[in-house]
Structure formats: structure tokens, C-alpha cells
Amino acid sequence: MSGWLKDKEHLARMAGLFALGITAFFVFRWVMVPAGFGLYGHYRPGALDDARARPLHYAGRAACEDCHADVVAARVGSRHARIGCEACHGPLFAHVQAGGEKKPARPDSRILCARCHETSPWKPKAFPQVVVAEHSPEGPCVACHKPHAPKMS
């Protein structure tokens, strides 16, 4: 046994074990850390792409205007002019992608209209609201109010 290692051999072996472990750790790290990690910040840049790649369900009102210009015209100046089409008609991206097929079902006006227009002290005072049961005990709201130009002249 060489001079300076005398009585220290076991420590040298333990140190060797530690060195092995630390090296293995760095190799493992080099293999496993995801590509590009840290490019923009402490995260995997692929996560941004994942977030962007989510599928669309709502098309946005601009898409409706391409085919439904008549409805757009009907809504000009009406009280409902600023409401997005899909607020009432639901998600329509599939309908656009299918070139106009997969038409959405007509919403039930008594349920849909009451959502916004049923009287509630929580709604802003200036917002048009009625007690639906008194205003119209039965029958669809669209019998009197055209949904795209609801104000009765």
C-alpha cells in the first residue's frame, strides 16, 4: 500500500463511489432534460407549441359574416348587433370547416332568452329585463321578437 493512502483506502473507495454517482447523474441529466429547455425561460419551449395547437371550437363572428351577410344586414342598428353569433348559436367551427354542413340546432328561445333577460336585481338597472312568466306566460319569445332585431316597432 502506497504511503499516503495508508489507512485511507476505504475513504478513497467511498470517494470513488461518490464520484461515480455524480458522473452518472450528469450523464442522466444530459440525456433526459427536454430539448430546448430554458430557451425562453425555465420551461420547455415545446409547451408553447402545445398550447397553440389546441383545436378550435368557436369560429368567431368574422367567419359567420362570409356566408350569412343577410343576417349581418338584419342586425345592423339592432339592440343585438354587437353580440357574437356563437353566444346564442353555440360553437360553430365544425360548421365552418364542413363548408356549411353540420348545421347547429335552433336554440330554445324561452330558455336562451331568459338567461340574459330574466329580471334580476343583480343585473345592471339599465339592462332590458322582464319577469318572463308575467311578460309571456307561454309560447316562444321569437313569436314576437325577431332574435336578430328584437325591438318591436
Which residues between 17 and 76 bind other proteins (CB under 8 A)?
17-18, 21, 25, 29, 32-34, 37-38, 40-44, 46-48, 50-58, 60-63
Which residues between 95 and 124 bind other proteins (CB under 8 A)?
96-97, 114-116, 118, 120-124
Q: Which is nearer to other proteins, 61 or 135 (CB)?
A: 61
Tell me the closest approach of the beta carbon of residue 143 to other proteins, in angstroms.
21
Nine-digit cell at 33? 432534460
Cα of 57 vs its chain's centroid, Å: 9
Judged by CB under 8 A, does residue 90 bind other proteins? yes
Beta bridge partners of 118: 130
| Cα–Cα distance, 103 to 92 (Å, whole number) | 8
For the chain, the 3-state helix, strand and coil shares in percent, each to the nearest 5, are 45, 5, 50
Amino acid identity for residue 142 in this structure: V
Beta bridge partners of 130: 118
Q: Which is nearer to other proteins, 126 or 143 (CB)?
A: 126
Among 20, 36, 91, 144, binds other proteins (CB under 8 A): 91
147: exposed, middle or buried (Cβ count in 10 Å: 0-12, 13-18, 19+)? buried
- Binding interface with other proteins (CB under 8 A): 6-11, 13-14, 17-18, 21, 25, 29, 32-34, 37-38, 40-44, 46-48, 50-58, 60-63, 80, 82-84, 86-87, 90-91, 96-97, 114-116, 118, 120-124, 126-127
